[in-house]
Structure 1
Amino acid sequence: MRTTQQLFDLTGRTALVTGGSRGLGLQMATALGEMGARVVLSARKQAELDAAVEQLGRLGIAASAIAADMASESGVAGLAAAALERLGHVDILVNNAGATWAAPAEDYPLEAWDKVMNLNVRSIFLLSQAVGRQSMIPRRQGRIINVASIAGFAGNAPDSPMKTLAYNTSKAALMNFTRTLAGEWGVHGITVNAIAPGYFPSKMTTGLLQQAGEENLTKSVPLHRLGDDEDLKGVAAFLASDAAKHVTGQVIAVDGGNSAVR
């Protein structure tokens, strides 16, 4: 029987993290690397990827990067092919790349809806399908971690500054994608789970934090704080490891208790 430390050990595992050049993606990539995984980061901007790889390297983490545009089918296919060529196989896929767009529902542009839904749902389907078909299913093992949001649990209050119809819809879709794929691919030894972060400082939430203010955002959060640069590390490492080998189809909120009282 393995010890708890051995169950969490990711030595020898490989991981592909999309949206991994900064913020929550880089935080999760750091966690996987610290537990021993070899990590490939992906994002659109090469300069940001280079900086992230350098940061991970200073921590002794084996990391490299592949620039890719997840908004297109060819971009997703190219990323999957390049990652598999570089790593040989993918043990852990973290689907973190995403986008948001704020506008009242009655004025919501179709191009904005399509951009959010394509990146937040369609690209995750395409990349999961490619990695699953080419690597995880043949090897009969794999861990897929989708990054959803507590925005997927409910709509926004009438007085909320958040007018994020497509984002909320996409994250709710991603949660049920997670459950459904877990049901189909469990037979292949693949677990599929989702993390639903609450309010974290990030490029995506900069405008919201400026508009609403941190104090207003956190006053109804039981822990009365934003997430920080450590709060996703433990859950990401857990879901990627053998400690979670009997956990699949689940959505874990990391939100200071916000979703429990919404």
Structure 2
Amino acid sequence: MSENKLFSLAGRRALVTGASKGIGLAIARGLAVQGASIVLNGRDAGRLKEAQTQLAQEGIEAEISAFDVTDQEAVIASVKDIETRLGPIDILINNAGIQHRAPLDQFPRKDWDRLISTNLNSVFFVAQAVAQHMIPRQRGKIVNICSVQSELARPGIAPYTATKGAVKMLTKGMATDWARHNLQINGLAPGYFETEMNAALVADEKFSAWLRQRTPAARWGKVEELIGAAVFLSSDASSFVNGHILMVDGGITASV
């Protein structure tokens, strides 16, 4: 197989959750450039339409599918609709996620439940629904978006860290169960990236100075720098990679 075909996504369809902005939108754009047909997911149909329009202005066609990834029945119905209306889902990028910062001893139960529902339950719900279609076809790629917090903790975000650690182990469990069906399930773990979710931290010069000192690359990551890893994990280039967590973090987890 030539190098071009090895990384080509031509003829593949990718569903990207949480794709109306940030990391999800950047990855969707990157997969499309490599030839994939993309389906953008989010809860807000209006924001999805804006993302679709933005991509169209760049010459990229995208379908949209608005559903709540924390609602298992809605997930099952929407995945079935995509499969019926558009065709097989070959690639799933499980990206939907939220953050909530608060001292652990004062962390509200409702926010704990919301983090677990959005960051962990949704990964299971969407992956299971998609895998039920992939398994009979004996092929498929699932990329769960983990985090540097799948390995490291910081004050004020212990529940988020718990969800991302769980996504890491769920990814390994999915690979253990589904690799025999020629599904490759891996995790992509961003470090600190300039996104809307991190806007307050980016604007905090004290935190940014700490991050530059703590990270061997000495800077924040750009969302476009996640595309190569996402393409690799979505393509034939990773045909024997399973249950792996690929860190894209500027070296932060490699150093003390």
* Structure 1 residue 250 corresponds to structure 2 residue 234: no
Show the counterpart of 1:155: 153
Quote how far apart the aligned CAs of 1:47 are. Answer: 2.0
TM-score by length of 2: 0.95
Show the counterpart of 1:159: none
Show the counterpart of 1:194: 187
Within 2, Cα distance between the matches of 1:33 and 1:124?
22
* Structure 1 residue 14 corresponds to structure 2 residue 8: no
Within 2, Cα distance between the matches of 1:87 and 1:15?
11
Show the counterpart of 2:41: 42
Return 5+ residue gaps in structure 2 as ranges: none
Quote how far apart the aligned CAs of 1:70 are. Answer: 1.7
Show the counterpart of 2:121: 122
Moved over 4 A (4+): none
* Partner secondary structure for residue 199 of structure 1: coil
Within 1, Cα distance between the matches of 2:218 and 2:138?
42
Residue in structure 2 matching 1:237, options 223, 231, 242: 231
* Partner secondary structure for residue 80 of structure 1: helix
Quote how far apart the aligned CAs of 1:246 are. Answer: 1.0
Q: Which moved more, 1:219-228 or 1:68-77?
A: 68-77
Which letter does structure 2 place at the counterpart of 1:48? R
Which letter does structure 2 place at the counterpart of 1:123? S
Quote how far apart the aligned CAs of 1:44 are. Answer: 1.5
Identity of aligned residues (%): 37
Contact 1:91–1:143 (Cα < 8 Å) also in 2: yes
* Structure 1 residue 214 corresponds to structure 2 residue 199: no
* Structure 1 residue 146 corresponds to structure 2 residue 144: yes
Show the counterpart of 2:222: 228
Contact 1:21–1:52 (Cα < 8 Å) also in 2: yes
Contact 1:196–1:254 (Cα < 8 Å) also in 2: yes
* Structure 1 residue 60 corresponds to structure 2 residue 65: no
Return 5+ residue gaps in structure 1 as ranges: 157-161
Quote how far apart the aligned CAs of 1:217 are. Answer: 2.0
Within 1, Cα distance between the matches of 2:73 and 2:36?
27
- CA deviations 1:105-142 (Å, max 9, x no partner) are 11111111110011111111011111111x20010000
Residue in structure 1 matching 2:174, options 164, 172, 181: 181
- CA deviations 1:18-70 (Å, max 9, x no partner) are 00111100111011100101000001122221121122223332311111122
Q: Which moved more, 1:9-18 or 1:212-221?
A: 212-221
Structural RMSD (CA)? 1.3
Within 1, Cα distance between the matches of 2:71 and 2:10?
33
Within 2, Cα distance between the matches of 1:34 and 1:180?
31
Which letter does structure 2 place at the counterpart of 1:250? H
Contact 1:71–1:115 (Cα < 8 Å) also in 2: no
Contact 2:70–2:125 (Cα < 8 Å) also in 1: no
Contact 2:69–2:125 (Cα < 8 Å) also in 1: no
Which letter does structure 2 place at the counterpart of 1:231? E
Within 2, Cα distance between the matches of 1:229 and 1:101?
21
Show the counterpart of 2:98: 99
Within 1, Cα distance between the matches of 2:58 and 2:7?
19
